Chain A
Amino acid sequence: MKVKVSIFSFLREKLGWREKTVELDCNRATLREVLHRFPDLKEIVVNQKPEDFIILVNGRNIRHLKMLDTELSDGDEVVVFPPGGGG
């Protein structure tokens, strides 16, 4: 299965990439498993406080799903925003 991961604002500055697609050798995987493929992102997001970030799976906040245990399938999109605001 393929999953697209996009990152924004200062995560881009820190990690030096914007968007990556990862191919996994299975039909389903948890977000935690997918993030294993992105050690730099995992280091910041998982190893610190995931609740400080806005993480969406197909536009749904993972806090309303199963956090890092949210199951992903082929074609899903994960986006990670550092805290942001404005008006």
Chain B
Amino acid sequence: MAEPLSNPPDRPLPDGIIPEEVVAHTEKRWIAIMSAILVVMMAVIVVTGVMGALHPPSNVEAIDPQTLHLKGEFVDSNLGAAVEPDGSVTVRLIAVQFDFVPHSVTVPADTSITFRITSADVIHGFLLPDTNVNTMIVPGFVAEVRTRFTRSDKYEMPCNEYCGLGHHAMVGLVNVVPKGRFPAQDLLERTSNE
């Protein structure tokens, strides 16, 4: 049955074995050190946020998900990569159950890229593994995330937020090609001014 456990010491501990002042002093010192560590961590975040403009994707822009295909920048003909007048590239995507439209997109390396993504139905996620490109896609809003690819590669782009029973099948593709091989001529007719 119940096995014997190691016994408590015979004599109980008396009150006040450590004087109250010593307890208070030690604790104050510990709290001061811990607060200093937290202040340093917060300072790092403030400095990188403000000086390095290191922010999470946070562009608040409402859009009606029911009229995406009828008007505005997310009409079918305007999806995919478009070259801006300043040479940067804007990629427009719509996330739907259970794919990205277009499913695959080609972008140039060493170029400033802006992804603008919205959802036609439920919440999705957009993640390019091995990069810091990671945003939620909430219907009713346009998610915007900027990046710059330094090497050519094929990036699988899984949906990283549960979006329904086909969630696991939702994987798109971003194909990064050297800047010179980016087929810009196909894209000239697209505009970003709508």
A binds B: no
Interface residues of B (CB under 8 A from A): none
